Chains A and B, each alone.
Chain A
Amino acid sequence: MARRRLRTTAATFRRSGPGPRLCVGAVAFGAALSRPAGAYDATVDATFDAQLYQVTSPFGSPALSRHRYTETLSLKVYDLQGDHDPKAPELDAVARLRVDTDFGVSPEERDPTNERAFVPGLQTTPLDIMMAYVEGRNYVGGLLGFRLGRQYVVDALGWWSFDGGLARITTPVHVAFETYGGFEQRGGLFMLSTSRFEGDGVSRGSRNGVPVDLDTSYLEESRLAPAYGFAVESTGLTWLSTRLTYRKVIDRDTVLVSPFADSSGNFATTGGDRVSSERVGWAGTLTAAGLGSLRGDVVYDLYSQRTSEYAASLDGTPFPALALGVDYEYFVPTFDGDSIWNWFSHFGTTTIQGRARVQPVHGLTFALTGGVRRFVTEGDPATYTATTANATGSTSADSSLYDVLGSLDAVYKFARGTGSLRLMDEQGDRGKRRGGDVALRHFFDDGRYDANGILSLYQWSDALRPDGDVASFSYVVGGGYRPFPKTRVGIEWEHSMNVLVGQRFRALATIDFTVL
């Protein structure tokens, strides 16, 4: 990414960096603790995407026109403390904004007074702040780190976002402590937020203007959802990386309890602080330098009182041209504490896969994966009848449903581009899905121009819907032009055809560029 070296002072930064007050305060705090300001670097980049395509219902109508326009703008200011030194304090500021709108959405679909067209939750946040935070590292002799603002947390508990503060203490004994608190990023709030990071299982957003008896499963969300967590993790060890983490999010809004009115025509509600999610997770990796690694994780959901996930992987590199691995994973979905769906899953899904990566010649790499996915049923579906289950739900002997999984990926990097092949096959008791893609990207004129093409052929059949046996053929052609370094203008055309919905077309135009 192109960079511009900017000589500056604290006063200059104050003039050019408005930002949230919290972030400015953090910058001042960090600057006070760090060395005198010398220089900082900044990158600003933006992307613009326009997509035109149609979504045709498998029943023929309606056909939705998608006229999507997405724009992102990113700013990163780093080394606010001066020149980078891995052992000295560091101070960065990051922000990313996005406009994501669909001009194919009709105003009626967003009008809560229009009962025949209103779609609750549809594009409530065309403009959002994806992240905006200030981060400091290596303060107080390397003991203290912090983040303030809208930020992500990625660990065994998943990918999550909140508004608030995070502090991290690195002790002299290879252990670091982290704690954070604030408010979960949720859609429907007033802070340019999306619903992407809140627990699933409830349709939630602003009910402002929505009649109480309309879309009763669409729950009110207008209050902040407090959240906090902490973690203990290893640090400074290459052979071991491990993190134990806990997080709790609280629902506060008063929401409808039942989607149905009672005998007097009223809707019951409930409110007060209650658990949205409360989970504890652990993940760890043991690495043997030059040989491979052993990795594992487990997540326990304290609300639904079940182990929602555990997994392990073993990777080894017996020869430079050959890497082998095996993965084991158990997963059962959990939902927001307000959702009824926590109580519908009985057992999780277990997947075991083996992997191999082979590099037979320079530039050509194959990755082969194969395995089995297993689900244990509470009773045998083939012989089950309601009478075999007693009032508590106990059933006849458990049974299993299986899927067999396989895939082959190959990439060939040649002088002026890349060619790739991807084949996949998944089949089992619930149907099959298989197919592949062949893709090529080719550069011309020292990379100023590029062209790409993809051919796809897929076939799938749903065991529950025998009439849904479908084959699909698609092709994509596209190209790009780089007028400046790190700037690309591209177009793409996609044409898909299958017996389910006939012909479908999609046009895409993109501009990616760096301002600084």
Chain B
Amino acid sequence: MSRPRFETLALAILVAIAALLGATAAPPRANASLTTKATDAQNATNAQNAADERSAVIYPAQSIPLRFDHRRHLETTKLTCVFCHDRAATSRRSADLLLPDAARCDACHGTDHERLETVSAGVGPAKDCGYCHDGYRATDGNAVARAVLPAPHLRFDHAIHYAAKIACSECHAGVDASTVATRAMLPTMRTCLRCHSTSRAPPNKPAGGCDVCHVTVEGSRLQTTFATGKLLPPAWLNGAEHGPDFVLRHKDVAAADSAFCGNCHAEKECVDCHDGRVRPRQVHPNDWLNLHAMASRQNDPNCTSCHREQSFCITCHERAGVSMSGAFANTAEQGRFHPPRAIWTDPPRTAGHHAWEAERNISACVSCHTERDCATCHATAARGGRGGLSPHPAGFASDCRIAFAKNARPCLFCHAPADPALTECR
């Protein structure tokens, strides 16, 4: 099969099967699975984030079917928050229900919620249950819509914050000017970070670390999977947004603050790829065995973040004959991996000479060659080489003293101890 025809055929198959696969991406079923629910929740999370920044993963959707005016109660009636939300002052868990009991309204509105099955109407406007209970109709009798307030997936201790005299509005901004409180008046991560930090705080500071607020599993590791979706870092935090390209750029985030990653990820998740058992396809796509040579040619340092060239790479290359050493050493001119000798290794040094590649991308050389291959030409005659072609950059002789003192082995590899070239390095 000729190459153009091969490529056209392959492309056609690719497009056809992609279209087929895309067609199977059906909309959600009514009896969705756990997977379905999680995905839906994640989509909802994204929508929620776009709308008001409150994570739907942390704060599940809630419903408070009440008519209420916080501003009026706070400004006109001069009530304090804990007058109604009295349990907040002693609450230790985020799951505690802190909505006032309905009986709390009775003193002012003349109602009687003591027995919820036989609630008495109040006086004035409150004589109608619908005055407070949104959606109530006279035909509903004693039944009203119930508030749905799922517990947030957080740790929170209201009592500690109350005792520390932190005003309610510090975290629940906007409530004092609102009617019914909504999720938009719940604190965001940014709110918490005004006092708390994402890393362990000194003992005399407010507690720090992700596990101070977030729910944990396995000790201090955060729980990241909930029925409401997947917990992911916000885009602004440490540049760690887990987008589609994050796997290829996460190294900078990990290098800068690996403890930050460790809040959610166990080390075994790292080694699954970095010291892995199966090729990670996000990094190494299909046919990588053939493709990797070109990737290495272009920029081999990418490879060294996971692979040690002189053990992982070279053992396979020696077995496959892609090496100058080993039982299947490929030293023949025909089938060379590199350009012909006249261009690649012989003088004069022209545009296709290996020296440019060695200077630019020495790691790629190291994946196939042993030191002996280089020493053959670069070592001095006294060390068994063919003439000591210097690979050193300009000005090297004046900088070699420290390196020689720390480890002289590579110097002595090419230079005999009595070599005058080493005089400046001693």
Interface residues on B, range: 35 or more
C-alpha spacing A508/B278, complex, angstroms: 9
22 contacting pairs across A/B (C-beta < 8 A):
A84-B211, A92-B219, A116-B327, A170-B200, A196-B275, A217-B371, A260-B379, A275-B406, A289-B189, A292-B236, A293-B237, A303-B402, A333-B362, A339-B371, A416-B28, A422-B285, A438-B14, A446-B33, A473-B10, A498-B290, A501-B290, A504-B289
Q: Is the CB of B403 within 8 A of A303?
A: yes
B107 within 8 A of A: no
Query: For chain B residues 353-402, which have a beta carbon within 8 Å of chain A?
Result: 353, 356-363, 365-366, 370-372, 374-375, 378-379, 383-385, 390-397, 399, 402
A442 within 8 A of B: yes
Q: Is the CB of B21 within 8 A of A438?
A: yes
Minimum Cβ distance to chain A for residue B191 (Å): 9
Chain B residues contacting A241 (CB-CB under 8 Å) are 198-199, 238, 256-257, 260
- Chain A 485-516: CB-based contact to B (< 8 A → 1; otherwise 0): 00000000010101111001000101000000
Q: Is the CB of B21 within 8 A of A343?
A: no
A435 within 8 A of B: yes
Interface residues on A, range: 35 or more
Query: For chain B residues 66-90, which have a beta carbon within 8 Å of chain A?
Result: none
Of the 9-residue stretches A10-18, A25-33, A423-431, which lies at the interface with chain B? A423-431
Q: Is the CB of B14 within 8 A of A403?
A: no
Query: For chain A residues 361-418, which have a beta carbon within 8 Å of chain B?
Result: 362-363, 365-367, 369, 373, 375, 377-378, 381-382, 384-387, 392-395, 401, 403, 407, 409-417
C-alpha spacing A494/B407, complex, angstroms: 47
Q: Is the CB of A64 within 8 A of B319?
A: yes
C-alpha spacing A349/B308, complex, angstroms: 19
Chain A residues contacting B42 (CB-CB under 8 Å) are 363, 413
- Chain B 284-318: CB-based contact to A (< 8 A → 1; otherwise 0): 01110111011101111100110011111011101
Q: Is the CB of B34 within 8 A of A447?
A: yes
C-alpha spacing A479/B245, complex, angstroms: 25
Which of B216, B287, B297, B414 has the largest count of A CB atoms less than 10 A from its CB?
B287
Q: Is the CB of A499 within 8 A of B285?
A: no
* Given A261-B384, A381-B351, residue A49 in contact with residue B278 (CB < 8 A): yes
B255 within 8 A of A: yes
B146 within 8 A of A: no
Of the 9-residue stretches B91-99, B174-182, B342-350, which lies at the interface with chain A? B342-350
Q: Is the CB of B268 within 8 A of A74?
A: yes
Nearest 5 Cβ contacts at the A-B interface: A260-B384, A236-B201, A415-B28, A474-B286, A217-B370
- Contact among B24, B212, B412 for A268, CB-based, below 8 A: B412
- Chain A 187-204: CB-based contact to B (< 8 A → 1; otherwise 0): 100000011101011111
Q: Is the CB of A455 within 8 A of B17?
A: yes
* Given A170-B202, A378-B393, residue A305 in contact with residue B403 (CB < 8 A): yes
Q: Is the CB of B239 within 8 A of A292?
A: yes
Query: For chain B residues 210-258, which have a beta carbon within 8 Å of chain A?
Result: 211-212, 216-220, 234-239, 241, 243-245, 248-249, 252-258
Q: Is the CB of A386 within 8 A of B348?
A: yes
Q: Is the CB of A131 within 8 A of B267?
A: yes
Q: Is the CB of A238 within 8 A of B21?
A: no
Q: Is the CB of A382 within 8 A of B321?
A: no
Q: Is the CB of B244 within 8 A of A410?
A: yes
Q: Is the CB of B267 within 8 A of A152?
A: yes
C-alpha spacing A94/B36, complex, angstroms: 33
- Contact among B29, B241, B359, B407 for A344, CB-based, below 8 A: B359
* Given A412-B25, A416-B36, A455-B17, residue A274 in contact with residue B50 (CB < 8 A): no
A109 within 8 A of B: yes
Closest to A135 in B: B219
A103 within 8 A of B: no
Chain B residues contacting A347 (CB-CB under 8 Å) are 359-360
Of the 9-residue stretches B121-129, B134-142, B164-172, B331-339, which lies at the interface with chain A? B331-339
A291 within 8 A of B: yes
- Contact among A72, A187, A275, A293 for B236, CB-based, below 8 A: A293
B420 within 8 A of A: no
Q: Is the CB of B220 within 8 A of A251?
A: no
* Given A261-B384, A381-B356, residue A367 in contact with residue B243 (CB < 8 A): yes
Q: Is the CB of B325 within 8 A of A142?
A: no
A222 within 8 A of B: no
Closest to A66 in B: B316
* Given A243-B257, A416-B28, residue A117 in contact with residue B21 (CB < 8 A): no
Chain A residues contacting B318 (CB-CB under 8 Å) are 119
Chain A residues contacting B299 (CB-CB under 8 Å) are 349, 373, 403
Minimum Cβ distance to chain B for residue A267 (Å): 10
- Contact among A119, A375, A414, A445 for B25, CB-based, below 8 A: A414
Q: Is the CB of B243 within 8 A of A365?
A: yes
Chain B residues contacting A416 (CB-CB under 8 Å) are 26, 28-29, 33, 35-36, 39
Chain B residues contacting A339 (CB-CB under 8 Å) are 371, 410
Chain B residues contacting A341 (CB-CB under 8 Å) are 362, 365-366, 371, 374
Inter-chain pairs besides A131-B267, A158-B255, A217-B371, 16 sampled, C-beta below 8 Å: A137-B220, A195-B308, A243-B257, A283-B256, A289-B189, A305-B399, A340-B410, A349-B361, A367-B245, A373-B298, A393-B390, A415-B32, A433-B291, A437-B286, A446-B33, A447-B33
- Contact among A76, A141, A259 for B372, CB-based, below 8 A: A259
A155 within 8 A of B: yes
Query: For chain B residues 28-70, which have a beta carbon within 8 Å of chain A?
Result: 28-29, 32-36, 39-40, 42-44, 46-47, 49-50, 53
Q: Is the CB of A457 within 8 A of B256?
A: no
C-alpha spacing A292/B394, complex, angstroms: 42
Chain A residues contacting B311 (CB-CB under 8 Å) are 121, 187, 195-196, 203-205
Chain B residues contacting A411 (CB-CB under 8 Å) are 244
* Given A349-B360, A365-B243, residue A285 in contact with residue B256 (CB < 8 A): yes
A67 within 8 A of B: no
Q: Is the CB of A236 within 8 A of B202?
A: yes
C-alpha spacing A284/B371, complex, angstroms: 37
Closest to A257 in B: B412
Q: Is the CB of B46 within 8 A of A362?
A: yes
A352 within 8 A of B: no
* Given A57-B321, A500-B290, residue A419 in contact with residue B22 (CB < 8 A): yes
Q: Is the CB of A216 within 8 A of B256?
A: no
A87 within 8 A of B: yes
Minimum Cβ distance to chain B for residue A204 (Å): 7
Minimum Cβ distance to chain B for residue A468 (Å): 8
